Structure 1
Amino acid sequence: MSKSVVLLIFFSVAAAWRPVAAVADSHGDTLSQWIDQRGEQLWGKPPAACSDLTFVRRVYLDLVGRVPSVSEIRDFQTLGDDRRELLVNELVFGEGPRREAYTRLSASSLARHWRRVLIPPGTVVNGSVQGLETWLEDAFREAKPYDEMMREIAQIQSPDSAGGYYRLVGGTPESYAGNLSRVMLGVRLDCAQCHDHPFTDWKQHDFWGLAAFYSDINGSIDNPDGSQPTGKSGEIRFEGETYRAKVLWEDTAMDDAARAPRVRLARWMTSRENPNFAATAVNRFWQLLVGRGLYADIENLDLANDDERAFLDDLGQKFADDGFHVQRLIAAICKTNWYAARALSESDSDETFRRELKVISPEQVFDSLEQSLHLPISRIDPAAPRWTGARAQMVNRLGEAIGETPEDYASGIPQALMMMNGPVTSDAIDLDRSRLLRAVVESPFFDEDKRIETLYLAVLTREPSEAEKRSLTEYLDNKPDETTRRKAFGEILWALLNSPEFVLCR
């Protein structure tokens, strides 16, 4: 039996919809055209575009954090020639009848991603990250400009500000300084904490000059092996030497640093004139959506040469000129030929631009299962895995093997066993408990081809190939009676759910 099959979702027929036509400048259209033109100057002609169904799966995963339902796929297929642009506007800007749901899901998806940027997988944290994720979700739902969000993080007045980020990453000036430079400027200063950086121009006074901005945060403590906050704003001691607050790329300490130093730091760090702030931001959004940054070594942007930075710096300037509007940047990237390019294989080595396969996050895996299998989601439903602990268990187990970038695939035996034998999958293939299977198998309007097709659409967002159809039809025909034939659809669904294709954004 073919193993490259996927999960089925509850079948429904929804009324076709058409969002209101978008105004170009307010929906990123002008920027997307500029990106296409600039990309051709750098990479040449873009690769062939992916299929419509691939695009639908890709954009739903990237923008709302789950695969589309069968009814959402059918809605998309009723639209005209500009259906891809209309779908992006629907998901990003909430145009159309599903506005409330998509606005909520988009903010939640962005918050989860950006929480991982702020606190990378494997980081030991002090406390729960939920407060930080909620803070991020509120900011994205309100369409808060990116520079304003980052400014709030940089100018914190207490360990609990900005979702408690300061406390989560260690609660010391040096841990916070190292994280801010990495997140906002694409610069890793950690190696300059105890000595001048061995491979770059960063000096020890650069690191401690940045840490000094946080020396008076309530809760900062003397560390036997670390900093000794002086209690004065803008001043910190390390190994007997006192460092005064200074920003990067400047040799001298900030004048009058004792006066609102973090406010001044935040303004400098998030300024459109800052050489790395906007460039690092667009590089991170490009990595999120396309799989690899415009400059691949995303947290070592200071190592890039002028040619490697040219496109990135220009796109960053466009982002800044547009008021750091996150949603318009995302929409613009999603409407480009580069985002829509088919994922390339090793045989396409002659291509100058490569669209890589991306591995979906643990939360996206569960939320896609929830959508595809039509699982109960109500808090008061005792069978809803979102609230019984099944979601947390799956996310934690899959999170153990999450890669450093979207293109890393690090899953091992524990993660495979969770998908193959976990309670969500076990219920999904049981005809008595699976809403999806019952809807497909018991529908009087479906023949076997339509049942197979619906399962593929629900799980993998594609139709089965002719070879897969033949293989599965033969598999079903070999069943001796109606009972085993019906159970065979559960086996097909199991194979689809455990196909590597299910956890990939192709």
Structure 2
Amino acid sequence: MADQNTRTQPMMRLLPVWLFLFLVVTTATSSHAADVSPLVISRLIDQRLGSDTTNQSQFADDAEFLRRVTLDLAGRIPTIVEVHDYLSNTSESRRIEAIDRLLHSGVYYRNMATFWRRAWVPQADTPEFDTITADFERWLVHRLQKGTRYDELVVEILTLDHDNNVQASTTPVGFYDANLSKPENLAASATRAFLGINLDCAQCHDHPFSRWTREQFWQTAAFFAQPHTNEKSQPPKVRIPDTKKEYEPALLTKTKIEWPQKLDSVSLRLILVDWMRANEEQLLAKNAVNRLWAHYFGEAIIEPVDDLSRDEVQTGERAQLLNDLSAAFIASGYDLDMMTEGIVSSNAYRLSSSPQSTNKGSKPDPDAPGPFRITRATVRGLTGEQLYDSLLTAASLPSERSDVGSGGSERSQRSEFASRFYIENSFSAERSISQALTLMNGSFVNELTTKQGNLMLASILSSPFMSSDEQIDTVFIAALGRHARDAELKVVKQSFDSYTNTTRESHLGNLFWVLINSSEFNTNH
């Protein structure tokens, strides 16, 4: 008995120290990433979707996964070197290594800046506001590279003192310019972009089936009005056009507002932002997670993404998954990179898009009964930016530039191309006739089929040690991110042999043209 006490005493002495350290650490980090990690997030996803027990045969192969995750994180297909390195890597951690490499690349921040700009300032996709795009994305790239929390990005946008001649290239003033600085426009855009609430109909009338009233719309708009210059402590009022009705600022939940002693436009909007972060429905976090999910899976957890507050989507497995992920996002300190890594590290993200899967593929119905499951990946159309950058990557031309938005001719070509190939929803995108003709006969694409405009072709044509098979295979790797299959190699060689008067450059240029016009190249699968 004495021996037993002797053995337990050291542990009893250590226990209070361990407990003290545990309490200090968890208390200090309770609002950040105390118990949240990418692994926790990915396991949560797989448990909720039933993909934690998915059969290995249902996963995308290595080449498919690398292409998918590179398109999603970098906004382009992988380079020849990246494909060779990944396919030769036999480590069990190769997926995590590839994800980590992409997450710490400059092109990841550029890609996500475009994604969030499109979610927050969709007007910039129109010719009228095209000049806003470059400056807003430059600001956002800088903030994302610094690891700025998502909620802090929202605060910085909505509390910008845009009346004091701020610099467009170093601030998010484009959000105000795109909305013409009108309170009603800013209210509609802010609630849709940051909360997933669609107030558009309420601007003009009360809809019988809508949760939000016209009064609530204009009360929200009043947060973007200019306070009276001679009455700093008095909240401003906005008047509905062509009426005598005026409204003061009021929160959508009717929460009582404690007005500050000195009220200006910044402190007024800060009240709105603080409510967004403290709101019990967690719509700020839910909206961000729902949009990220749509980016990586092609379809949001809750559709449409700008109508999250409907009563009928507050229950069910989809709502529960979104609740769980949003809680993890908040616990991580609104860490976008952590949430992204958790999503793309999950088994659900790894699933193959092969039609042999039992899932027939359908648009999600948030009201449908039964479990929420993903049994195969959704085939998605490439955005204009992804397509442009992927074409350059396939040709071994640089697509990761330091002069993003510099106003040069190169930027103009990318912007014009991206606008021409703009898509609303990636999972339902279809090529128009004009888009198809541009890919088949456009001057930009035609130039890529020559060794003068394609460094990849020039390199293999000038290499004296590459066999015919190796040249063909390299074109497949460059365009499709995988080796040519035996049957494909046989057909291509037969085609080459049947046209004896055609030069080797023309043969390989024609092959490149065929591959970049294929559905395999033009989709993320």
TM-score by structure 2 length? 0.80
Q: Is the 8 A contact 1:27 1:332 kept in 2?
A: yes
Which residue does the alignment assign to 1:158?
A: 162
Which residue does the alignment assign to 2:148?
A: 144
Match of 2:96 among 85, 104, 116: 85
Deviation of 1:27 after TM superposition, in Å, equals 5.9
Pairing 1:428–2:431 present: no
Which residue does the alignment assign to 2:302?
A: 295
Match of 1:393 among 413, 418, 427: 413
Which residue does the alignment assign to 1:14?
A: none
Structure 1 residues 130 and 478: alpha-carbon distance in aligned structure 2, compared to 1, 3 A threshold:
same
Match of 1:358 among 357, 380, 391: 380
Match of 2:249 among 245, 248, 256: 245
Which residue does the alignment assign to 2:463?
A: 443
> Which structure carries more relative contact order (alpha carbon 8 Å, separation 6+)?
1
Secondary structure in 1 matching 2:238: strand
Letter in 2 for 1:167: D
Deviation of 1:346 after TM superposition, in Å, equals 8.9
Which residue does the alignment assign to 1:12?
A: none
Q: Is the 8 A contact 2:74 2:102 kept in 1?
A: yes
Which residue does the alignment assign to 2:213?
A: 203
Deviation of 1:301 after TM superposition, in Å, equals 1.0
Structure 1 residues 376 and 37: alpha-carbon distance in aligned structure 2, compared to 1, 3 A threshold:
closer
Match of 1:373 among 384, 391, 395: 395
Distance 2:159 2:99 in 1: 34
Farther-moved stretch of structure 1 (327-336 vs 392-401): 392-401
Distance 2:236 2:282 in 1: 23
Distance 2:279 2:389 in 1: 37
Which residue does the alignment assign to 1:499?
A: 518
Deviation of 1:412 after TM superposition, in Å, equals 1.4
RMSD after superposition = 3.1
Secondary structure in 1 matching 2:428: coil
Match of 1:276 among 283, 286, 292: 283
1:419-441 per-residue CA deviation (whole Å, 9 max, x = no partner) reads 22233322222234432112123
1:393-423 per-residue CA deviation (whole Å, 9 max, x = no partner) reads 3542442452222213132122222222233
Pairing 1:167–2:177 present: yes
Letter in 2 for 1:247: L
Deviation of 1:274 after TM superposition, in Å, equals 4.4
Pairing 1:333–2:352 present: no
Matches within 5 A, 1:45-194: 45=54, 48-79=58-89, 80-92=91-103, 94=104, 102=105, 104-120=106-122, 123=126, 124-125=128-129, 127-158=131-162, 160=166, 162-194=172-204
Which residue does the alignment assign to 1:320?
A: 330
Distance 1:268 1:429 in 2: 55
Matches within 5 A, 1:477-496: 477-481=497-501, 484-496=503-515
Structure 1 residues 360 and 271: alpha-carbon distance in aligned structure 2, compared to 1, 3 A threshold:
farther
Indicate the structure (1 or 2) with the bigger Cα radius of gyration.
2
Distance 1:379 1:141 in 2: 15
Structure 1 residues 477 and 404: alpha-carbon distance in aligned structure 2, compared to 1, 3 A threshold:
same
Farther-moved stretch of structure 1 (179-188 vs 388-397): 388-397
Secondary structure in 1 matching 2:132: coil
Distance 2:407 2:131 in 1: 21
Which residue does the alignment assign to 2:224?
A: 214
Secondary structure in 2 matching 1:162: coil
Q: Is the 8 A contact 1:214 1:233 kept in 2?
A: no
Deviation of 1:477 after TM superposition, in Å, equals 1.5
Distance 2:399 2:257 in 1: 53
1:62-110 per-residue CA deviation (whole Å, 9 max, x = no partner) reads 1111111111112222331110011111111x3xxxxxxx1x2111110
Letter in 2 for 1:236: V
Which residue does the alignment assign to 2:481?
A: 461
In the alignment, structure 1 segments of 5+ residues that lack a partner are 1-22, 95-101, 219-229, 381-385
Deviation of 1:340 after TM superposition, in Å, equals 0.9
Letter in 1 for 2:319: R
Structure 1 residues 471 and 48: alpha-carbon distance in aligned structure 2, compared to 1, 3 A threshold:
same
Secondary structure in 1 matching 2:246: strand
Q: Is the 8 A contact 1:63 1:106 kept in 2?
A: yes
Letter in 1 for 2:283: N
Letter in 1 for 2:239: R
Distance 1:173 1:280 in 2: 22
Q: Is the 8 A contact 2:450 2:505 kept in 1?
A: no
Farther-moved stretch of structure 1 (485-494 vs 142-151): 485-494
Structure 1 residues 64 and 178: alpha-carbon distance in aligned structure 2, compared to 1, 3 A threshold:
same
Richer in helix (by share) = 2
Structure 1 residues 376 and 324: alpha-carbon distance in aligned structure 2, compared to 1, 3 A threshold:
closer
Which residue does the alignment assign to 1:256?
A: 259
Structure 1 residues 323 and 273: alpha-carbon distance in aligned structure 2, compared to 1, 3 A threshold:
farther
Distance 1:377 1:136 in 2: 19
Letter in 2 for 1:373: A
Secondary structure in 1 matching 2:226: coil
Q: Is the 8 A contact 2:286 2:326 kept in 1?
A: yes
Distance 1:340 1:357 in 2: 13
Which residue does the alignment assign to 2:9?
A: none
In the alignment, structure 2 segments of 5+ residues that lack a partner are 1-32, 362-372
Secondary structure in 2 matching 1:300: coil
Q: How many residues end up aligned between the 2 structures?
A: 457
Distance 2:45 2:279 in 1: 19
TM-score by structure 1 length? 0.82
Distance 1:341 1:425 in 2: 32
Q: Is the 8 A contact 2:37 2:342 kept in 1?
A: yes
Deviation of 1:114 after TM superposition, in Å, equals 0.8
Q: Is the 8 A contact 2:59 2:352 kept in 1?
A: yes
Farther-moved stretch of structure 1 (338-347 vs 65-74): 338-347
Distance 2:417 2:149 in 1: 34
Distance 2:155 2:400 in 1: 37
